[in-house]
Structures are given as C-alpha cells and as structure tokens.
Amino acid sequence: MAAQIRNFQDIQIGDEITPLLKEIGIARMMAYGAATWDFIRLHYDADYARELGFEAPFVDGQMMGGFLAQQVQDWAGPGAFLRKLAFRNRVMAYPGDSLTCHGVVTEVSSTNEGGIVECDLWIENQRGEKVVEPASAQLRFPLQTGG
C-alpha cells in the first residue's frame, strides 16, 4: 500500500524498490480492456488468439505501465511525483502468469524542483523471464518530508 511516507534524504543508490506481485487472469484482462476502451480480440478471445498462433489471449502491454507506476508510487509514498516512466515489453504475459515488478535506485540528486530519484525497473514472470526490460522511472520528492 502507498500510505507509507518515504523521505528523500533516506534514499540511496542501490536501494531496492519494493517488489510488487501481480497475478494475471482473463477476467482482469477483460476489465482492463473495458476500462481503457480497447476491444482488440487478442486480449480476450481465446479462439481468435489461437487461430493467430498464440497460446492464449495475452495481456495488453500497456497494462505493464500501470503495474510499474503503482510499484514506484507505492514505494515512494503519496508525496512523490512520478515524473517519467519508460518501458519495453519483451515477452508476452498470459492468463495464469505471476508477474513480479522489480527495481533499484540508480541515481539520487537534489534540484531546485525537489529531490530527483532515478530507478531501473523490470518485470519477471514465474519462469524468471523478463517480460518487461528495460524500464525506468524518475520520481520527484519534496525536499523536506515525503508526505
């Protein structure tokens, strides 16, 4: 949960971004498609996906951006501002997959705008395959408190 407060002054290069686990199911994929007005059948129609050579409907790659944003925001706390997020999808994610978002702090600096923290991120499935890589985020913290 994101209710914790993290102070910029306590963050160091090499700190781990708390991992975030996501269990993927077809109902969640349907919910995502409905919420985002994305009706592409590859994300919910099993027969259609198999006809095109996929083992099953696969997760919309943009959903990974939602997971990574949540991971860094949960770690950083409600006072932090997610300034930038970049990611590249590498491996398809399917219903039944367990995806874990990982990350590490790579840069910390103070600026006039606030404390800036850069992170490297990636997402692995239960087989240890990198589903998303590379990925990165930049967060801005208030300089005095994290709340």
Partner 1 sequence: MTQEAQPDTQSVLTPEVKAMIGVEGELIESWGTVDVEYLRRFTQAVMDPDPRYWDEDFAKSTHYGAIIVPPIMVSYMTQRIRPEAEDAITEAFKENPMSDGIGSVKRPGELPSIPTHLVRTLNAGNEIEVYQYPNIGDVIFFQNRYHDIRERVGRDGKAFLIITREITYTNQNKDLLCITRQSSIRR
Q: What does the binding site for partner 1 look like in residue numbers (CB under 8 A)?
A: 1-3, 22, 28, 31-32, 34-42, 45, 48, 61-63, 65-67, 69-70, 73-74, 78-79, 81-89, 142, 147
How far does the chain reach from its first CA to its final CA, in angstroms?
Answer: 14
Q: Smallest distance, Å, CB 142 to partner 1?
A: 6
Give min distance, CB of 77 to partner 1, in A: 9
Q: Count helices and strands (H / E) in the chain.
A: 3, 5
What's the closest the beta carbon of residue 22 comes to partner 1, in angstroms? 6
How far lies 22's CA from each of 19, 79, 132, in Å? 10, 24, 13
Distance between CA atoms of residues 81 and 6, nearest Å: 12
Q: Tell me whether residue 36 or residue 110 sits nearer to partner 1 (CB atom).
A: 36
